[in-house]
């Protein structure tokens, strides 16, 4: 092997380097979450690293945590206006501007993660949702599929529907509306205030997330019961949002890379969530909290209330109505597969 490089080879390498430098792009992304929040926090960073690697370093995305540029709940508006190039969110945060985001963020008695994934990318879900984002000049990339949450932390035993009457509970979205129909007093308490609100009795109950996240907040130290299932949010989506002018300025290959990097993110995070829940539940039990399931009577009442809420919301927004009809039909059509494959219990 020669130790020398010919002049033509050097020239070609130099030309390639100049071309790469000319095509290099750098973007800023702000998350609505702190980057240290378990599971969700690192997600946009992992996505940015995948994009950088898949573009051979041509695209760099600098990821910032909540509040670095704008308050967390202002990320959508900042991306819409172009003040931020990119953001990372829980889709449901934008329900006031985009009603269908409530459905995708937290559909009570909605799809399991596998069915949510199928509907989003194969069943027409993404096309419907994007039409709701278009007037805001925002491209949405579903990028983190959140598994089922817990039903919540309670300092009141729930044995019947009547036990929900007058319950002061931190719960939002469509699930909160369903709870309210059954007599609960619902409110949205910021994540950082939930522990103190439970400890002082300001609220009797609170839902936040799955055990993997909940355990880090220490709620097991100030509650008696941890109820399942997470009927209000069997699956949910976090997303990368990109200013549409920025998105349209990307070449097709970079757009495809960003989409494929999200698919890799979804796969990784689903595995991580499944892996972490058992240990978290064990820690919660060790803290003295009684882990229980809601009685079937309560779940049936919550389902009826949820169906009523969903139908009411569909009457108020045509895209919500279209997405709800599409998702219900998809759940029914693919549901037979699960039924046919169901194995008997021991």
- Residue 253, annotated ligand binder? no
Question: Residue 286 annotated as binding?
Answer: no
Question: 174 and 106 in contact (C-beta within 8 Å)?
Answer: yes
Query: How far, CA to CA in Å, does 211 sit from each of 152, 287, 291?
Result: 10, 13, 11
| Segment (H or E) for 153 | strand 152-154
Q: Is 232 helix (H, G, I), strand (E, B) or coil?
A: coil
* The residue count for the chain: 346
Burial, 119: exposed, middle or buried (Cβ in 10 Å; 0-12, 13-18, 19+)?
A: buried
Is residue 341 marked as binding? no
Pairing of strands 86-90, 236-243: antiparallel
CA distances from 62 to 46, 137, 183, 277 (A): 11, 21, 46, 30
- Is 233 annotated as ligand-binding? yes
149 annotated to bind ligand: yes
Measure the CA–CA gap between 170 and 184, rounded to whole angstroms.
Answer: 10
SS3 (DSSP) at 99: coil
Helix (H, G, I), strand (E, B) or coil at 39: coil
**Residue list, annotated binding site for substrate:** 149, 170, 207, 233
- List binding-site positions: 149, 170, 207-208, 233
Residue stretches of the annotated binding site for Na(+): 208
């Amino acid at each position: 092997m020669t130790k020398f490089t010919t002049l033509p080879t050097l020239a070609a390498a130099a030309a390639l380097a100049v071309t790469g430098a000319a095509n290099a792009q750098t973007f800023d992304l702000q998350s609505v979450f702190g980057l240290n929040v378990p599971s969700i926090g690192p997600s946009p960073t992992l996505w940015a690293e995948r994009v950088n690697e898949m573009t051979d370093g041509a695209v760099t995305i600098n990821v910032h945590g909540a509040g670095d540029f704008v308050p967390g709940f202002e990320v959508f508006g900042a991306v819409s206006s172009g003040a931020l190039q990119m953001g990372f969110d829980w889709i449901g945060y934008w329900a006031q501007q985009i009603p269908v985001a409530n459905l995708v963020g937290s559909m009570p008695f909605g799809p399991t993660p596998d069915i949510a994934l199928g509907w989003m990318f194969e069943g027409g879900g993404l096309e419907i949702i994007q039409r709701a984002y278009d007037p805001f000049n925002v491209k949405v990339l579903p990028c983190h599929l959140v598994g089922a949450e817990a039903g919540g932390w309670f300092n009141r035993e729930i044995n019947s529907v009547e036990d929900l009457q007058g319950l002061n509970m931190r719960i939002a979205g469509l699930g909160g509306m369903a709870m309210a129909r059954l007599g609960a007093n619902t409110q949205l308490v910021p994540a950082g205030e939930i522990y103190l609100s439970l400890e002082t009795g300001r609220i009797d109950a609170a839902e936040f997330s799955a055990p993997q996240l909940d355990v880090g907040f220490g709620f097991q130290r100030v509650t008696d019961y941890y109820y399942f299932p997470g009927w209000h949010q069997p699956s949910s989506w976090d997303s990368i949002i990109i200013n549409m002018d920025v998105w349209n300025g990307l070449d097709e290959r970079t757009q495809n890379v960003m989409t494929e990097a999200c698919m890799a993110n979804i796969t990784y995070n689903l595995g991580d969530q499944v892996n972490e829940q058992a240990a978290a539940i064990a820690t919660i039990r060790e803290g003295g909290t009684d882990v229980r399931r809601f009685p079937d009577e309560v779940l049936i009442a919550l389902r009826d209330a949820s169906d009523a809420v969903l139908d009411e919301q569909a009457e108020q927004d045509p895209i919500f109505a279209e997405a709800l009809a599409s998702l219900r039909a998809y759940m029914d059509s693919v549901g037979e597969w699960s039924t046919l494959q169901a194995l008997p219990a021991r």
